[in-house]
Structure 1
């Protein structure tokens, strides 16, 4: 009996120790559901012990990046909002947390909504510490079971490899590829030499050397800048510098919401569009739809709007008018040749008239005037019923 009791005590003690050492399922945890991998799908949050979808209001790039990092995925490359016909309980981001999502524990509250976030993170590549989501130090997770992200040596990446990385991240063509552009770091642990053809959809689809470096020289970690996949545009206006303001951001083209929009923001957008100064903007009422909201006071230079944006649902958008430098160029290109042509025509007419006048004057003084005027005077006299005067027999009557 005592032996059984002792074994029971040891068994229960072992269970408690095992439970104590087993990692508990974390609260305030995220997951992506319904996607092609664990790095894409609808955003769900376990908060206060309950899994719910996350509403799209106040969702932004910082939150997307934080979720991708928590899930040990790469960079955020796509953000979409989807809606349902009925409302259900969701977790909604608190406004203040959208500005600095470093601590997500107290960032969400219970709410009802019919629109939800769908997020796609890259599976195995990411760019760190760049000026935008399409620039930074390149890191690759070559082993899905190893959660480390070694940097890639500059010597192991060429232009075709860079094209594949930019495409995988939903960015444009590579514009800069060099080492230590975004700050020097510790030497990479290792990376194979990639041998892409340039047409692959993901870097890990490319062939690689098979051998791997254990390190590369300081300052030689590959730094990559892709042309922006995110951009403003003006549609439906009289020129490219006027129209309804739209933004393509994280793969999603949406109108820009009018709330908090200022002439300073308008001027920065006009500058980014390579137009001249902002002339005016006005609010336009449209049907309720997903839009991008620009934080007032956050957008300080043409290069940094991407951390100032949030997903929003609204029925108020913007029409923006910037002065168009191409109009001035067209005016100068067309008007100056036209004025030059008019000047030449006027000069030609003046010279022609001068020569004609001189010729007529010479004819008049040489006696040709009588010959020229006689037929004319005869015609006029006949039409008036008279008889022309004979200039040759003019004199006294006998």
Structure 2
């Protein structure tokens, strides 16, 4: 055997380590650590302690507020916010067989005393769940509010500016500070000490990656009192308001259009577009116990009056969901259309040209066309203007605000979206008064000529109009003259009844574009002949017959003057009696028709 000689100090160290291992193996206090599991982040979950190399849940009866303070401190979080049995499930392992006796000021749960449990059973639903507040290692400074300013994170005892180039970091910071949704996220003028990158789902900035690149610091504005969750972007989701440091959903019965206008303004979005109960799920927390009384002009939801709810229950499916339109912070300029031109973004009171990397251009343009409601991308052309920042998107964002942004210098670009042309107009006219208006659209009397006119705004010269008719699937095409075209139709009959629409086609920017009008629904109906016309025609015919008869059969002579005068008078009287009888007959017939109509 070979003898190995160790220095004396090394033997002393090894001896100390061996003694410590022996002490640990015989220590009656078996748990070595504590954790929170099945929660929303590092600072919430079911309390579990380590027992004999396995994890055991803790019974609610063996755990109080002082124990919770120590656990929150042990896992590196803030003060306890919620403590309840069954809050985060039961777990699948054993139950811890001791009762903690913490004083509340210990640094670690291992430092607390324990005692045997009086009752060795723990009923289902009593595994203790704990929610700790997030640690105060993130703050916003210089914004006049705890929910606005430059992002700073505590690092080794001092506050350092955080650099970031994406909106996911902003969402995590606002969430961690309990400040609701992100209203705006802009790069600052000071370079950050380190860069943070998040996926957006983290509960605190500590869960994000830290990279020591140098990027401009991030300036945030968060909504302090309201947020939209589980939606497709920053401007849609279930409405939740802050209540006693927790978030509560709002019942649809307590929320109206004016309240929605304030909420959309509060979170930095445009006007409300959709408002409906259950639109974005129910949520898992409590329901707000007040009814909002906003006038619609308030800047913040906190400025609105509230009143007690008449009914304290909110049925399932009634948690109000809200979709706000995107804010008008993006536009296309120089293309003679709101759907074509160079991309500009409104930043700190001025419009600035946007650029992007070649490999990311398609994704950015898709987001721009979608945000503007201009359909899909048709083409992208390089621009000549050098800009102050670059945007990078992943295509799925609903607005440019959700994309990453950096202060690199790249040329801008020109976008053409598919909805380039404005919607044309369609209307019906005639020259003989044969058109009447109904609730379902215009009505045309049979036998009358009519004209359908297509027109559009003077946007681009040229183009043509295609008139489609769904009644027989036939179409007609005419060139656009002075931005309009008139389609003439002969005497109307039942074959003309149906839906018409105008499709405007034009070739601009080396591409063909089209836009379709709304439908015009045309009904063909019989032409009514007024009764008073019939009555006057009958009277005139009777008079004409009487006069003609008198002239032909009663020629006057000298000897027959008196006789003829008398005969003429009698004839006149007879004629008038016939007219009177005819009028009474017409009146009687009209009364009879009126009586039948009344019946």
Which deviations, in whole Å up to 9, do the C-alpha atoms of 1:365-398 show, x marking residues without a partner?
A: xxxxxxxxxxxxxxxxxxxxxxxxxxxxxxxxxx
Instruction: Report the equivalent of 1:20.
Output: 107
Matched residues in 1 for 2:375 and 2:285: separation?
A: 43
Decide whether the 8 Å contact of 1:248 with 1:254 is kept in 2.
yes
* Equivalent residue runs for 1:24-35 within 5 Å: 29-35=137-143
Instruction: Report the equivalent of 2:184.
Output: 78
Question: Does 2:386 correspond to 1:286?
Answer: yes
Q: CA separation of 1:79/1:262 partners in 2, compared to 1, >3 Å: closer, same or farther?
A: closer
Decide whether the 8 Å contact of 1:189 with 1:214 is kept in 2.
no
Matched residues in 2 for 1:149 and 1:25: separation?
A: 13
Match of residue 331, structure 1, among 440, 463, 478: 463
What is the CA distance between 1:208 and its match in structure 2? 1.1
Matched residues in 1 for 2:148 and 2:204: separation?
A: 22
What is the CA distance between 1:340 and its match in structure 2? 9.8
Q: CA separation of 1:16/1:140 partners in 2, compared to 1, >3 Å: closer, same or farther?
A: closer
* Equivalent residue runs for 1:263-282 within 5 Å: 263=362, 265-266=364-365, 269-270=368-369, 272-273=371-372, 274=374, 277-282=377-382
Instruction: Report the equivalent of 1:8.
Output: none
Decide whether the 8 Å contact of 2:341 with 2:416 is kept in 1.
no
Alignment coverage as a number of residue pairs: 311
Q: CA separation of 1:307/1:107 partners in 2, compared to 1, >3 Å: closer, same or farther?
A: farther
Instruction: Report the equivalent of 2:152.
Output: 44
Matched residues in 2 for 1:166 and 1:339: separation?
A: 39
Matched residues in 2 for 1:77 and 1:138: separation?
A: 15
Q: Under a length normalisation based on structure 1, what TM-score does the superposition of the two structures give?
A: 0.66
Instruction: Report the equivalent of 1:136.
Output: 237
Question: Does 2:418 correspond to 1:312?
Answer: no
Residue aligned with 1:68, SS: helix
Residue aligned with 1:217, SS: coil
Q: CA separation of 1:61/1:31 partners in 2, compared to 1, >3 Å: closer, same or farther?
A: same
Query: Which is further off, 307-316 or 190-199?
Result: 307-316
Decide whether the 8 Å contact of 1:45 with 1:52 is kept in 2.
yes
Residue aligned with 1:163, SS: helix
Query: Comparing both chains, which one has the higher relative contact order based on Cα–Cα distances under 8 Å and sequence gaps of 6 or more?
Result: 1
What is the CA distance between 1:117 and its match in structure 2? 1.5
Matched residues in 1 for 2:350 and 2:313: separation?
A: 39
Q: CA separation of 1:332/1:309 partners in 2, compared to 1, >3 Å: closer, same or farther?
A: same
Residue aligned with 1:189, SS: coil
Q: CA separation of 1:257/1:321 partners in 2, compared to 1, >3 Å: closer, same or farther?
A: closer
What is the CA distance between 1:152 and its match in structure 2? 0.8
Decide whether the 8 Å contact of 1:266 with 1:320 is kept in 2.
no
Matched residues in 1 for 2:194 and 2:157: separation?
A: 12
Q: CA separation of 1:30/1:151 partners in 2, compared to 1, >3 Å: closer, same or farther?
A: same
Decide whether the 8 Å contact of 2:175 with 2:204 is kept in 1.
no
Residue aligned with 2:408, SS: strand
Matched residues in 2 for 1:167 and 1:195: separation?
A: 16
What is the CA distance between 1:277 and its match in structure 2? 4.6
Decide whether the 8 Å contact of 1:292 with 1:309 is kept in 2.
no
Matched residues in 2 for 1:155 and 1:191: separation?
A: 11
Question: Does 2:256 correspond to 1:124?
Answer: no
Q: CA separation of 1:242/1:63 partners in 2, compared to 1, >3 Å: closer, same or farther?
A: same
Which deviations, in whole Å up to 9, do the C-alpha atoms of 1:310-338 show, x marking residues without a partner?
A: 12011113222416334579633694336
Matched residues in 2 for 1:299 and 1:161: separation?
A: 32
Question: Does 2:203 correspond to 1:109?
Answer: no
Instruction: Report the equivalent of 1:156.
Output: 254
Instruction: Report the equivalent of 1:322.
Output: 416
Instruction: Report the equivalent of 1:261.
Output: 360
Instruction: Pick the structure with more helix per residue.
Output: 1
Decide whether the 8 Å contact of 1:76 with 1:119 is kept in 2.
yes
Structure 1 unaligned runs (5+)?
Answer: 1-13, 342-398
* Equivalent residue runs for 1:190-205 within 5 Å: 190-205=288-303
Match of residue 92, structure 1, among 158, 173, 195: 195
Q: CA separation of 1:150/1:92 partners in 2, compared to 1, >3 Å: closer, same or farther?
A: same
